[in-house]
Chains A and B, each alone.
Chain A
Amino acid sequence: MIKNTKPVDTLFIYLLRLADSNLILSQRLCELCGDAPSLEEELAISNVALDLIGQAKNWYEYASELDPLKRTADHLAFRRDAHEFYNVLLVEQKNGNFAETITRQFFFDAWHLSILESLQDSKDERIKSIASKAVKEVSYHLRRSSQWMIRLGDGTELSHEKMQSAINQLWRFTGELITSDHLEDALERDGLIPDPRKIFGLWKHSIETVLSQAKLVNPDYDAWMYKGGKQGEHTELLGFILAEMQYLQRAYPDAKVW
């Protein structure tokens, strides 16, 4: 489906990648609502999830305008199946323990801030305005997750061990964040999205700065990586997330009053 797409479709799919990653991570974080380790974390996690949903809405609204099938933003979020979702695999991974939740968030935030900062220079005005809005929110997200990485990594022996184990487990999902495919290469040539090498540089810098401060070991960038999320090939986890997230909209399609 992705191959041989027209430029507009290419941008449409790229916007879905951004929106879907935001939405799925947000849904994962919402699972912790009422179940977070402390009240302050509960507030932080829910607020991060809220920011991500808001940004996803902005991307979906733009995607909806470019959609060849003319679907609405709500339809794109709640009525597509797992193979039509283009989020990165990292965000669909389970919350696990707090070390895993925070490490997943940190890897994502470091990428998210790098990509948003660079999208502010996009040739597309709409992308630019959505990114400049989101970039400020995401700086706060990265600040919070970095602080936790440092506090727990450089904490007790047990917290350090749990953090390192979370990093080692989730590292294999990070390759997808920083490698491009032909679709992204085409958009980059048109000046719509940044050079993936630039994103990799920015991402690597945040990861290395924080992990060294946290006294954690930085895994190998050449390690074997999972891929496919951006092309619609997911781990078995996404189906369960969608089943819960989309239940109402699928049971009562086009309902106007809830």
Chain B
Amino acid sequence: MQKYGRPSPKSLIDNTPYQNSTKKQILATDILGDLSKPLEYDETSIWQVLTQVQDPEIPTVSIVDLGIVRSVSLSLRQISVEVTPTYSGCPATDLINDLILEALSHAGYWNIKIEQVLSPAWTSDFITSTGRKKLVDAGIAPPKGLVSKSSLIDREISCPHCNSENTRLLSEFGSTACKALYQCHDCREAFDYFKCI
């Protein structure tokens, strides 16, 4: 995280001062008060922070809208965030984890644990309706319909620019693994289609 010119939020998760240690050290309680009381965190405000974290590859859509964040849970001393990758080889996975840590720690949260979950596997069905709208605004056609075997059969994909259904597939794979490249016959624009997977 140093490359962003900010202190590393990882240092915040690495120190767990209240574990069995006999050494004299600065305890979290010295700074934050009595930790035996539940922290005044609530899940809604954590979700709100996460909604501000944008996907690095599609910066107009948040990771919550893409359905990458699967759950947020609070224990007495820890925030656990479960995330799932869109694709097995998604190169943004580590960066997304860093962005979550950064956002939460800048919002004043600490002791954050990010867990990668593979099951249930991410599907484009997880993208929220807000997410789908934002994709269109960004010039990306959202996944058409819900996932089933039939998703692999060509469908009429609407052009995000002029709404025409008179489009054709240029390439099965686009700028990222999750997108295919299409072209609209009416407005002639090429556009990305977020694959139904």
Residues of A in contact with B (beta carbons under 8 Å apart): 40-41, 43-44, 46-48, 50-55, 57-58, 125, 128-130, 132-134, 136-137, 139-140, 143-144
Contacts and interface: CB of A to CB of B under 8 A. Distances in A.
Interface stretch (B60-68, B137-145, B165-173): B165-173
A54 B12 CA distance: 29
Q: Which 8 A-B pairs have the closest CB atoms?
A: A54-B89, A54-B88, A129-B119, A40-B171, A47-B173, A50-B89, A133-B121, A129-B118
B197 interface: yes
Interface in B152-178: 152, 170-177
A144 B172 contact: yes
B122 to A, nearest CB: 8
A50 B177 contact: yes
A59 to B, nearest CB: 10
7 contacts: A43-B181, A46-B173, A47-B176, A50-B91, A132-B121, A140-B152, A140-B173
B195 interface: yes
B90 interface: yes
Contact of A43 (B120, B122, B174): B174
Contacts of B175: 43
A52 B89 contact: yes
B87 interface: yes
B166 to A, nearest CB: 20
A184 B97 CA distance: 37
A136 B118 CA distance: 13
Nearest to B84: A133
Interface string B63-94: 00000000000000000000001011111000
Given A40-B171, A43-B175, A140-B173, 5 more contacts: A51-B88, A55-B88, A57-B89, A130-B88, A137-B87
A62 to B, nearest CB: 10
B114 to A, nearest CB: 16
Contacts of A143: 152, 172
Contact of A133 (B88, B172, B177, B181): B88
B121 A129 contact: yes
Contacts of A133: 85, 88, 118-119, 121-122
B121 A51 contact: no
A51 B170 CA distance: 20
B56 to A, nearest CB: 15
A136 B121 contact: yes
Contact of B195 (A40, A58, A140): A140
Contacts of A46: 173
Nearest to A38: B171
A58 B119 CA distance: 12
Contacts of B90: 54
B119 to A, nearest CB: 4
A148 B122 CA distance: 28
Interface in B96-124: 118-123
Contacts of B171: 40-41, 43-44
A136 to B, nearest CB: 5
